[in-house]
Chains A and B, each alone.
Chain A
Amino acid sequence: MSWKIYERKTPKTKFTLFIGIPDVGLVGPISASFLIKTLKLETLALLDSEMMPPLLLFHNSEPTFPVRIHGNDDICILISEVAIPVKAMYPLAKMIIEWAMEKGAEKIVTLSGIPVPNRLELQTPRVYVTASKKEYAEELARNGVQPLKEGFMSGMHALILKEAYIKDFPAIALLSESYFNYPDPGAAASIINALNTLFGLNIDVTPLREQEEEIRVKLRELMKRTLETMRQAGKEYEYTLPAMYA
């Protein structure tokens, strides 16, 4: 039981691989989708596994896979438009790191959310950074991006960082303060602003903010499916203090 990757085009080396997979507030796929549309990134590869539901997706009458990689010469973005079952997460994390290393990627950056109880009161959610090595996170923790010092992480980004740690590959997780169980385009806008600052992108988030309400209405179903997998992925641990904290 594994993942297969069907490449249409090989990326040039020394790119950054961004990852947006459904999780808290759907911050990852909302950010990834916005980046793909804004930067007009073409499809580079399609990913599939027998552990996934038997789905085919259509965009503008064009068939595509729910999990795929888009890109240009400088960046690649892996997006999933479906919730990844927990049993499929482990081999996917392994395959992502192996693919990134084989293609000569410089680093991986996962885009996701961290649930905060006061999200409703926040005008601009803060972004936290953590990484497969402390030094990577410390280097990026500036301009309002804060280091995540304590606590558990669960889900795909946790597995990617674990796999990168084992293989000694640079992987960074950006986590925006987010609603736990509602799609959060505001949190995604904070992530994109952090990317602008940290990686020199120049992306205007105004269209994302303007579509915020429509995105929230339209992504209810995906959020509902994602909540089912989040329950199985031990997401409640993110509210738990580690034993060493005592």
Chain B
Amino acid sequence: MGEDWFIEYIKKIRREFEKLLSEIERELYSPLIDYRTKTLQPLYEIVDLGDKLIIRIDLSGVKDPSKVSIKGSENRLLVEAKMEKPTSFEDLPTYACRSYNYYKVEITLPSPVDFKKSRAKLKHGILEIELPKKIKYYKVKVE
């Protein structure tokens, strides 16, 4: 009876681990297209600068900043954008032989951020979002 909590604890870790593994597999092997929503997934990178995160997303073909939508929570970021003109994948059956002009990407952030203090700029089709981290510092007295 006393071991039940431990078995449950192990099961919980296993569920978390499997969830993480399936996220990694999806990230590595899934194509950069979502036919269901007719969107392309852009390439992105997360740079951790200690007190803030810089998210760079390649939104090639997007020129007008008003066509970019950024939504965020403490640890998730959702970016959608419309290209100036569609890109044709009409010879590729794996892209359903059609054109695409929307990007959509949902990014899990490595640490909680303060979206109210965030900034974003679009240059040469690269979107750069600066997200200050939610960090509370405590002062330690040195003797």
Contacts and interface: CB of A to CB of B under 8 A. Distances in A.
Residues of A contacting B: mostly: helix
A8 B89 CA distance: 31
B126 interface: yes
Interface in A211-237: 212-214, 216-218, 220-221, 223-224, 228
A223 B43 contact: yes
A130 B92 CA distance: 39
B61 interface: yes
A218 B87 contact: yes
Contacts of B58: 182, 216, 220
A120 interface: yes
B126 A182 contact: yes
Contact of B32 (A182, A214, A216, A221): A221
Given A181-B43, A214-B87, A220 B123 contact: no
B43 A182 contact: yes
Interface in B11-35: 28, 31-32
A223 B43 CA distance: 9
Interface residues of A, number: 15
Given A120-B124, A120-B126, A224-B32, A217 B87 contact: yes
Interface string B117-143: 000000111101000000000000000
Contacts of A217: 40, 60-61, 83, 87
Given A221-B32, A223-B43, A224-B43, A216 B125 contact: yes
Nearest to A58: B91
A86 B67 CA distance: 40
B48 interface: no
Q: Which of A213, A214, A223, A224 has the most CB of B within 10 A?
A: A213
Nearest to A228: B28
Nearest to B33: A221
B113 to A, nearest CB: 21
A228 B25 CA distance: 13
Given A120-B123, A180-B45, 15 more contacts: A120-B124, A120-B128, A181-B43, A182-B43, A213-B61, A214-B61, A214-B87, A216-B58, A216-B125, A217-B40, A218-B87, A220-B32, A220-B41, A220-B58, A221-B32
8 closest A-B pairs by beta carbon, nearest first, are: A216-B60, A182-B58, A217-B87, A213-B61, A213-B60, A220-B32, A217-B60, A220-B43
16 contacts: A120-B123, A180-B45, A181-B45, A182-B43, A182-B58, A182-B60, A214-B87, A216-B58, A216-B60, A217-B40, A218-B87, A220-B32, A220-B40, A220-B41, A220-B58, A221-B32
